[in-house]
Structure 1
């Protein structure tokens, strides 16, 4: 199997991917490990799945991994996670803010905003003392969220989209501060991703939604393809406006 980043490119670097026990986060962690990075695998629940991924990465790539459970909406939990990173690796070079949500039941009306905005900023704040000069923060989002100000999205996804855009905006405000510390920031955005939990939930709530998006976009990325874009964003030159826009966007109105 070929990997998006050549082996050894990230040797000696440490990367943390939030929400990396499955899906896009797990494949992103795998691609970073294949490039030689030590990888911190974060999960909210289901530790065995995270431990299994860590064992796989150790065996396949010989990289050192750290598995840390943390609820990103719990400040103490997040502080504990980054404390473990400090104790094991001493610092951090890549922070991939991948974990998001907001469609879960019984989590409270403000859960989407707490997770997709407040927790993203909280994770960055907790990580900053560990981030070395030359480090990079990668924020993962969707076109439905990135363009929500100018292009309406499915009703069921609107609260998530609005909160993710709020998270992106809050993080973008930190770009000057990050630059002073020698830390880069990039947003990675794509359309709905084939095979993700979010896509499955939306298709259940609005039958045919994914087929409609696929027809309009021409092609939707799958989990591995989007993860490859995220992994590459961790090493490529920072694009214009600090955003890496993946795939067709002709059905979205640009933000001006």
Structure 2
């Protein structure tokens, strides 16, 4: 599978990628020959450390600070990437939030729905035919219309599902431009900040998932996200990682099997 545009590396923007799944996705894609743009909101040093680590391993990376929930900051992010590299080939919508203690009541929907569609719309004019958009979500959000989310996670689940639905509503625009769109949904991912926060709020919810089997690791899930950037699949295809008990139940109408 190719990770270049012609003879040039693909330019891949990964939101919220200074740590966790986003950071590991950046490592995987850089290892495959892409140039990864590590987006961060506040932790510039952490993003720069990751970019340096990728460079030391023989890869190519740069950093770009932006709060994607701020429309002007998001616009500047896309414009600056295009100005620096001349194009944008892949957008990985990895950033999400809402469990933060000081989060405003509407922040989850602002970030997990509005910011996702806003950034996709900003990227569309710059993505070439064959470009890709990948949306990263969780089973707890993806299946929330038919399965109750863990206590304390309901608002996040609803907002991320709203973001997925809103992006799916854009698939006509993606198709017109020849842009691929894939959703990657995973069970709780071992070692992520979300799991640690849930363990503090409701340890039983995490224990229940572990009782179903081993949770996917950050490395496993990030590899699935990276694979989705080159996956030959129908527009709107969903890749599922872990959580086999979710998949044994009827899927939501918007989902396709991976």
Same fold by TM (over 0.5)? Answer: yes
- Shift of residue 9 of structure 1? 3.5
Which secondary structure does the structure 2 equivalent of 1:238 belong to? Answer: coil
Query: Which consecutive segments of 4 or more residues in structure 1 shift more than 3 A?
Result: 8-11
Quote the Cα distance in structure 2 between the aligned partners of 1:255 and 1:204: 29
Structure-1 residue corresponding to 2:37: 40
Aligned residue in 2 for 1:3 = none
TM-score, normalised to structure 2, is 0.92
1:56 aligns with 2:53: yes
Contact 1:138/1:188 (<8 A) preserved: yes
What TM-score, normalized to structure 1? 0.93
Report the equivalent of 1:31. Answer: 28
SS of the residue corresponding to residue 130 of structure 2 reads: strand
Q: In 1, are the aligned partners of 2:138 and 2:188 still within 8 Å (CA)? A: yes
Aligned pair partner of 1:110 in 106, 126, 134: 106
What is the alpha-carbon distance in structure 1 between the residues aligned to residue 29 and residue 99 of structure 2?
28
RMSD: 1.5
Unpaired runs of 5+ residues, structure 1, are 1-5
Kept after mapping to 1: 8 A contact 2:93/2:135: yes
Instruction: Identify if the C-alpha distance between structure 1 residues 48 and 209 changes in structure 2 by more than 3 Å, giving closer, same or farther.
Output: same
Aligned partners of 1:199 and 1:232: how far apart in 2? 23
CA distance in 2 between counterparts of 1:209 and 1:173 reads: 31
1:192 to 174, 177, 188: 188
In the alignment of these two chains, the number of paired residues is 248
Select between 43-52 and 245-254 the one with higher mean Cα deviation.
245-254
Q: Deviations over 1:163-193 (max 9, x none)?
A: 0000000000111110110101000001000
Structure-2 separation of matches of 1:82 and 1:240? 23
For 2:143 and 2:236, the matched residues in 1 are separated by 14
Counterpart Cα distance in 1 of 2:66 and 2:3: 28
Do the aligned partners of 2:35 and 2:59 also contact (CA within 8 Å) in 1? Answer: no
Would you say the 8 A contact 2:51–2:63 is kept in 1?
yes
Does 1:97 pair with 2:93? yes
Distance 1:39 1:92 in 2: 10
**3-state SS of paired residue (1:134):** coil
Equivalent pair of 1:18/1:42 in contact (CA under 8 Å): yes
Match of 1:163 in 2: 159
User: Cα deviation per residue 1:131-162 (whole Å; 9 max; x = unaligned)?
Assistant: 11100000000000000000001120000000
2: distance between equivalents of 1:248 and 1:203? 18
Given that residues 36 and 61 in structure 1 are in contact (C-alpha distance below 8 angstroms), is that contact kept between their aligned partners in structure 2? no
Shift of residue 73, structure 1, vs aligned partner: 0.8
